[in-house]
A and B are shown apart, each in its own frame.
Chain A
Amino acid sequence: MDRRKSLKAIAIGTFGTAALLDACKSEADKKVAANSSLAAGFTLDRQPEELVQYDKVISTTFFTPQELATITVLGDIIIPKDDVSGSASEAKVPAFIEFIVKDMPEHQTPMRGGLMWIDRHAFKKNGKNFKDCSKEQQIAIVDEIAYPNKAAKEVAQGVAFFSLMRNLTATGFYTSQIGVADVGYKGNQPNQWNGVPDEVMKQYGVAYTEKENKECVKYSEE
């Protein structure tokens, strides 16, 4: 049995059990907190094991600066600034992708290999890495791989990479503050649910039944 921590034996009942155990817990927590560079930055409740894992994940860097620059260019082609909201890089999507491939290692090879594929492809066409191509050259390459149903078979690997890149970019963007506002999610606010707004029910030609109106909870509008 592992006896690393030769904590002094605690006789339960001699002292207040709960207080003693709490003391142990906070000691363990303190140890974790001291080791955890970003533990204090969490607004979410985290267990000690989670903080240890988090520190492990962020203690390494996966993408090279060159790779991250390519991800940034691609991300902003996929989600550019428009009339409604900002771009992927404004929403810090590249940093999200750096984190998530470390948290979900299954994305690492498809991403790294895909970035190699697109650079190789760009070099063959234009004699330059993708990120160093002109905007027109970059868009021409993206047009080859952005449409799975009409893309040439020869670039199928590029299509697979671009689809993954589009998925990660969209997920990173629409779960950011900018993206949530863009898509118009109105929830996560305390409220009193009184049913679907009347004008929406009318728009779809539906109505609550008499039974529903009678038996469902009603809150006074404030």
Chain B
Amino acid sequence: MPDFSIKKTTKEYDVVIVGSGAGGGMAAYMLANQGLKVCLLEAGADYDPAKNITQMKNPWDSPRRGASTKFRPFGDFDASYWGWEIEGEPYTKAEGTQWDWWRSRMVGGRTNHWGRISLRFGPKDFKRKSIDGLGDDWPIGYEDVKPFYDRIDKMIGVFGTNEGLPNDPDGFFLPPPKPRLHEVFIKNAAGKVGVPVIPSRLSILTQKINDDRGQCFYCAQCNRGCTVYGDFSSSSVLVKPAVKTGNVDMITGAMAREVLTNSEGLATGISYVNKRDLLEYEVKGRVVILAASACESSRLLLNSKSARHPNGLANNSNVVGKYLHDSTGAAMGGILPELFDRKRYNEDGVGGMHVYSPWWGDNKKLDFPRGYHIEYWGGMGQPAYGFGWGIEGLNGKYPVNGTQKEAGGYGASLKQDYRYFYGAGVGMAGRGEAIPVATNYCEIDPSVVDKYGIPVLKFNVKWSDHEVKQAKHMKETFKEIMHSMGAVITWGGNDGPENSYGLESPGKIIHEAGTVRMGNDAKSSALNKHNQAHDCKNLFVVDGGAFVSQADKNITWTILALSMRASEYLMDEMKKRNI
């Protein structure tokens, strides 16, 4: 066995960034374009959607016909490598608590997985404590972030419409695609029960915006990664151009162990394990930026103990790992008898919904705080594993071409049934805002390490009554919409208090945030309002960890905006020689 030794780089970088997802990709893009020398560490594999292709494949190109595996939990064609469980990289949970932790191990991180839903937070979303007394206000407001949202809209591209809504701000939108047929029905039905439905806001190019990226060609497969870069992923839109500047050395397969600090307590670089040779490496930089995901970044900080930072780095406040929260989620599905035996045409559309419902409720009249938005799906999608499953639940209930049949069956008659019911599915899901609390947290498990010897996270998270009541409201709303549409609910319609109204366990919506939160008071926050650590001025955290709360909006657009903002602040501070 060779001696334990550490391989040190001779090159000193201006900035070392951990993580290449939305936050890290944006920081690398901003800094490299201004000439800074960047080392970008990514724990996963290299990935470029133009080369690593699963798009425009047929179901039979997968031996399991698109079914999921532990490597691709959202299906065999999904772009994202790994997910809920990674071999050799465990995490633990306190007894009686829940947290499902999603980890995309690849360049671009989980921006290769998400639904491209690109929502700005609204003015109220930064000041929730002032409104309902729960949680905390952000140290910044919408007016601070708006200029960055504006720039990101134009730089990355997002379709949608300006509706003049008070808490779902207007932006710089590309034109949205027209609704699909079931979306027309949803819009009409939801309108009748007082739920607004407007064009969705997705970062997909319905029109070309530059010569580096192509226009969407409507295959509905954004989750597989886009070969023409017609949608946003950090890998194609940020990391690739950042590397092209010549100012970025990207190292994949680099599993960060800790942030290195000097005797003054300043960050000096990152120690990591190279997954290919399992040797220790150190890379040095004047500034360290963490963007490894809210939980992974807090794990790194908590594992970075030193004489100057005995409680972990940037953790004098003792809040690192705390206030961990995810979006709430609940869903319902069914069939629309009106769509039985429908005419066939290509209705793939973009990868995701063409319409959605922003939160419309008035909390003064409700028994829970905050709100949720509704996402919709349905129609004639590409058949995949699971197609035709449970036909006996359909073909005995509804006459097929006018003939009432016995449920189940076989033969030519059964083949008619599959054709008859195809494309009649419809469903919806709520994504809502949870209340971040200090008692929901992750910490270092005192006795468990991963295969690199790095101490792992132990989660301790429970939903409160607020979130359960929100899920109850979602289910009531979904039922109203389904009934108004004339749809028949086939799943998710019988949830009650016994299963928290179908509320997904925390972590399942993959919007982790809050663990390294920002604030003006260094006693109750880890970062200042520029994503800079209160206790270590050359350390920044630009992922969802910095969030004080996460609104009922998917968090990617705000991660991007805050990372852009923090990058410019950092460059300004470096110019002033404050860092």
**Chain A interfacial positions (CB closer than 8 Å to B):** 1-3, 5-7, 9-14, 17-18, 21, 24-25, 28, 43-45, 47, 49-50, 53-54, 77-80, 82, 84-85, 96, 99-100, 103-104, 142, 146-150, 162-163, 166-167, 170-177, 179-180, 182-197, 199-201, 203-204, 206, 208, 212, 215-218
List of B residues within 8 angstroms of A193 by Cβ: 177-178, 218, 348-350
Cβ of B252 within 8 Å of any chain A Cβ, yes or no, is yes
CB of B363, distance to nearest CB on chain A (Å): 29
List of A residues within 8 angstroms of B207 by Cβ: 217
List of B residues within 8 angstroms of A1 by Cβ: 4, 278, 453
Give complex CA distance A77, B390 in Å. 17
Choice from A7, A196, A217 contacting B206 with Cβ under 8 Å:
A217
Instruction: List 9 extra interface pairs beyond A17-B249, A176-B60, A186-B347, CB under 8 A.
Output: A12-B9, A12-B283, A21-B253, A44-B54, A96-B65, A100-B385, A171-B65, A216-B178, A218-B175
CB pair B380 A5 closer than 8 Å: no
Q: Which chain B residues numbered 362 to 421 have a C-beta less than 8 Å away from chain A?
A: 380-392, 396, 406-412, 414-415, 418-419
Cβ of B521 within 8 Å of any chain A Cβ, yes or no, is no
Q: Which chain B residues numbered 331 to 352 have a C-beta less than 8 Å away from chain A?
A: 338, 342-350
List of B residues within 8 angstroms of A184 by Cβ: 344, 419, 422
CB pair A175 B65 closer than 8 Å: yes
CB pair A217 B409 closer than 8 Å: no
CB of A200, distance to nearest CB on chain B (Å): 6
List of B residues within 8 angstroms of A79 by Cβ: 414-415
CB pair B185 A103 closer than 8 Å: no
Give complex CA distance A147, B338 in Å. 26
CB pair B278 A3 closer than 8 Å: yes
Mask: chain B, 37-66; 1 = CB below 8 Å from A; 0 = not = 000000001100001111011111111111
Give complex CA distance A45, B406 in Å. 43
Give complex CA distance A196, B185 in Å. 12
List of A residues within 8 angstroms of B72 by Cβ: 50
List of A residues within 8 angstroms of B575 by Cβ: none
Give complex CA distance A202, B139 in Å. 53
CB of B540, distance to nearest CB on chain A (Å): 23
CB pair B383 A78 closer than 8 Å: no
- 10 A-B pairs in the complex with CB atoms less than 8 angstroms apart: A5-B278, A10-B7, A77-B411, A96-B65, A148-B392, A170-B389, A174-B387, A186-B344, A189-B346, A190-B219
List of A residues within 8 angstroms of B51 by Cβ: 45
Q: Is the interface of B mostly helix, strand, loop or mixed?
A: loop
List of A residues within 8 angstroms of B60 by Cβ: 175-177, 180
List of A residues within 8 angstroms of B348 by Cβ: 187-188, 191, 193
Q: A54-B63, A175-B65, A187-B381 are in contact. Are A217 and B175 (CB under 8 A)?
A: yes
List of A residues within 8 angstroms of B350 by Cβ: 193
CB pair B250 A174 closer than 8 Å: no
List of A residues within 8 angstroms of B53 by Cβ: 44-45
CB pair B390 A167 closer than 8 Å: yes
Q: Which chain B residues numbered 189 to 206 have a C-beta less than 8 Å away from chain A?
A: 199, 206
CB of A168, distance to nearest CB on chain B (Å): 9
Residue of A nearest to B344 (CB): A184
CB pair B422 A183 closer than 8 Å: yes
CB pair B71 A180 closer than 8 Å: no
List of A residues within 8 angstroms of B391 by Cβ: 166-167, 170
Q: Which chain B residues numbered 167 to 217 have a C-beta less than 8 Å away from chain A?
A: 174-181, 184-185, 188, 199, 206-207, 217
CB pair A188 B219 closer than 8 Å: yes
Choice from A25, A47, A175, A196 contacting B71 with Cβ under 8 Å:
A47
Q: A148-B407, A180-B383, A196-B347 are in contact. Are A3 and B2 (CB under 8 A)?
A: yes
Give complex CA distance A150, B77 in Å. 39
List of A residues within 8 angstroms of B390 by Cβ: 167
CB of B549, distance to nearest CB on chain A (Å): 31
List of A residues within 8 angstroms of B181 by Cβ: 196, 200-201, 204, 206
